[in-house]
Structure 1
């Protein structure tokens, strides 16, 4: 295939947007860390960057929100956005940890999952999933939900006077 087809470009654009939206939203956890831990932005940024996975960063935010010194309304709002964010993590992780396959027309796109599943006396690996119209809608929906979560994190930070 010498030039990208419209579908090929659409899939690549959506996956780039999913990754960008996730990363941008994850970076807002810095504001939640700063507010919940009652530290300045520089300290919160160092804490954020020291933790090297999204799961660790979200775990920290959730644990800070669950402390006794955190107001119930703050706890509820923070846990709501972190849970919504993590509900999108499975899809994001799938597309960041797979190999992509396109047929010679560029129209039929699929993923090859790079994970080993050990079941009984057999190994399974290389699960193939098509990126069909339904999956494109699923990716688009995830992007939109992450955008909404992003806006909600900003609103929480402003509502509760967290460092911006």
Structure 2
């Protein structure tokens, strides 16, 4: 049996997911510099704070709350919040592939992800969202990797421009 049109090599897709995770983790770790700069602490203490906050959401919340303090200039606040917003926009795709299982047809082809998360709606539960792992999914991951690389560069530029600890 041949692969469906738009089908991808699953091993190649897993390599893309690995690159996405590397890009995510590398970029998320830069929040240490934003925590240090916004709070006035040194990088070592900011690292302890970063590692104590054990979720991405908590780390981003910390940065955003520090940025919203009255002592932070409006331009600085806007710049930081724009960066955290960009990171947040990439989280859904990252979470999709980090909180899923992978399934195949009876021939071991046509891979798809099945999200292992429950969405609690007003009058029902939704679970097991299925996404085909096709050329479009691979392109979405490539685009996310590119955006994370761009965010990474922009955080470093912000750290430099604002004289945050590097």
**TM-score surpassing 0.5?**
yes
Deviation, structure 1 residue 8: 1.6
Give yes or no for contact 1:8–1:106 (8 Å, CA) kept in 2.
no
Aligned to 1:134: 136
CA distance change for structure 1 residues 121 and 25 in 2, over 3 Å: closer, same or farther?
closer
1:9 paired residue among 4, 11, 14: 11
CA distance change for structure 1 residues 63 and 7 in 2, over 3 Å: closer, same or farther?
same
Task: Please give the alpha-carbon distance, in whole angstroms, between the structure 2 residues aligned to 1:120 and 1:72.
Answer: 38
CA distance change for structure 1 residues 83 and 122 in 2, over 3 Å: closer, same or farther?
closer
Is 1:85 matched up with 2:84? no
Give yes or no for contact 1:25–1:150 (8 Å, CA) kept in 2.
yes
SS of alignment partner, residue 113 of structure 2 = strand
Task: Please give the alpha-carbon distance, in whole angstroms, between the structure 2 residues aligned to 1:37 and 1:120.
Answer: 39
TM superposition score normalised by structure 2: 0.88
Gaps of 5+ in 2: 1-7
Further displaced range: 106-115 or 83-92: 106-115
Task: Please give the alpha-carbon distance, in whole angstroms, between the structure 2 residues aligned to 1:117 and 1:83.
Answer: 22
Task: Please give the alpha-carbon distance, in whole angstroms, between the structure 2 residues aligned to 1:161 and 1:120.
Answer: 47
Task: Please give the alpha-carbon distance, in whole angstroms, between the structure 2 residues aligned to 1:50 and 1:16.
Answer: 24
